Amino acid sequence: GDLLEIDFFYLPTCPHCNAQEPFNQELEDKYPIRFISRNIQVPAEKAKMDALADKAGIPESERGVPFTVIGDHFIIGFSSKETTGEKLRKTIELVLAGKEEEAANLTQEEEEQVLPFIGKLDTSKYSLTGLSIVLGLVDGFNPCAMWMLMYLIGLVMTLQDKKKIWVIVGTFVAAEGILYFMFMTAWLNVFLFVGFLRPVSIVIGLIALGVGILDLRDYKKEDPLVCDVGDYQTKKKTISKMEKIVHSPLTWASFLGIVVLAFVVNAFEFVCSSGIPAVYTQVLALHNLPSLQYYMYILIYDIFYMLDDFIIFAIAAFALNSSLGDKYGKYSKLIGGLILAALGIVLLFFPQLLH
């Protein structure tokens, strides 16, 4: 009889698509089916995929590749032969047997990943949002910029001028957030430009593992809040510029000086902790998302990255116990180290789990 035609939408740079293609051939050899491969870099193929997704009521935020259409049923993503592969096989069998309702129920089930030593893991319980929040918080408490923020707060608190305090600290923190967002988007665009290259994934995995191990080592130290980037003379010049800005009248020049100061500090901070943003943006780039969503996730990361600064400002403003900041910094090293080490292992050995 006639072959069942199955639309397979993919991107050449997508690792999950590359993993599914050999399995598609296995299924073709076993069943009376034919896969039609459609590269969504071709505008007409992308439009066809969007039309099918619209018809099925799949929101844009949930669309991605590989996108497999079996009759009236859709399967998005591909983790492994044992998980998504089994779902594909069963769906094909049910459609060929005319059991449409059972096929619909099967494709709507949440998929579980199988992790070494851990077993099955329901990926619906975990999200990029959670990763953005946790890594943003961990990255935010960075000693390279924290010493500067605390010194700046200490200076402005002596002024007894609430307007000047909020303008100076507010401008510094806002400029930091905007500039860090720009740094993060630059990282992301690099990874999106090169696409999925296994050597890149391996390098970032090694960086993540190395930074994670160093963070765990720092956690065991008596005083982990030390920045190894920048010398005494550099910090002395920065402090001198800070004092000049704080004690000068509020003008457009002083406003610009605060922004420049924030840029300099962010440059040092990015050198000091570039491992976390690099790993995060590589993980983000492995997901095939609409452009707006990439930037929304970076914005979430950036908001929680800046939350640390607001916490420090609140601690200083309300004269809370300063040891709280030290404890938070110490435990952020532990949490960040564990997460980065885990992400490094996954990037090196199980990159498909990050879909």
At 93, which CATH number? 3.40.30.10
Partners of 339 in the β-ladder: none
Residue 206 falls inside a structural domain: yes
Percent of the chain residues topping a pLDDT of 70: 56
131 shares a domain with 112:
no
90 shares a domain with 165:
no
Number of H helices, E strands in the chain: 13, 6
pLDDT at residue 8, rounded to an integer: 96
141 shares a domain with 48:
no
Domain boundary pick from 61, 86, 116: 116
Whether residue 298 contacts residue 284, with contact meaning beta carbons closer than 8 Å, is answered with yes
Domain boundary pick from 69, 87, 116: 116
pLDDT at residue 229, rounded to an integer: 42
157 shares a domain with 66:
no
Residue 337 falls inside a structural domain: yes
242 shares a domain with 325:
yes
Other CB atoms within a 10 A radius of the CB of residue 196 amount to 20
66 shares a domain with 97:
yes
Rounded CA separation 275/267 (Å): 14
Residue 168 falls inside a structural domain: yes
Domain boundary pick from 116, 150, 183: 116
pLDDT at residue 340, rounded to an integer: 60
**Per-residue confidence in pLDDT tens, the chain, 355 aa:** 588 999 999 988 787 888 899 999 999 999 999 999 999 989 999 999 999 998 888 877 677 889 999 988 989 888 778 888 999 999 999 999 999 888 888 766 554 444 443 344 444 444 788 888 888 887 776 655 565 666 666 666 666 666 776 777 777 778 888 888 888 888 788 777 665 555 656 666 676 677 667 767 766 665 544 444 444 455 556 556 666 666 676 677 777 877 777 777 666 665 555 567 777 887 787 676 777 888 899 999 999 888 877 776 666 555 444 444 445 445 555 665 676 676 667 666 766 554 4
Show the tokens assigned to 163.
């307007």
78 shares a domain with 213:
no
185 shares a domain with 212:
yes
Cβ-proximal residues to 176 (8 Å cutoff; 6+ apart), any chain = 145, 262, 265, 266, 306, 309
Rounded CA separation 54/263 (Å): 44
pLDDT at residue 284, rounded to an integer: 81
CA count, 13 A, side-chain hemisphere, 303: 10
Amino acid letter, residue 302: D
Amino acid letter, residue 347: L
Burial of 57-71, coded b for 16+ CB within 10 Å and e otherwise, reads: ebeeeebbbbbbbbb
Residue 237 falls inside a structural domain: yes
Residue 267 falls inside a structural domain: yes
Residue 121 falls inside a structural domain: no
Residue numbers of the domain that contains 61: 4-116
Q: What is the pLDDT of residues 36-50, one digit of tens each?
A: 999 998 999 999 999
pLDDT at residue 21, rounded to an integer: 93
pLDDT at residue 114, rounded to an integer: 46
183 shares a domain with 245:
yes
pLDDT at residue 125, rounded to an integer: 44
Q: What is the pLDDT of residues 278-325, one digit of tens each?
A: 778 877 876 767 778 888 999 999 998 888 777 766 665 554 444 444
Partners of 7 in the β-ladder: 36, 69
195 shares a domain with 71:
no
Amino acid letter, residue 143: P
Domain count, the chain: 2
CA count, 13 A, side-chain hemisphere, 320: 12
Residue in the block written with tokens 């930091």: 176
189 shares a domain with 334:
yes
Does the pTM of the predicted model rise above 0.95?
no
pLDDT at residue 88, rounded to an integer: 93
Q: What is the pLDDT of residues 1-29, one digit of tens each?
A: 588 999 999 988 787 888 899 999 999 99
pLDDT at residue 92, rounded to an integer: 92
Show the tokens assigned to 232.
């005494």
DSSP state of 274: T
Residue 196 falls inside a structural domain: yes
243 shares a domain with 192:
yes
Residue 30 falls inside a structural domain: yes
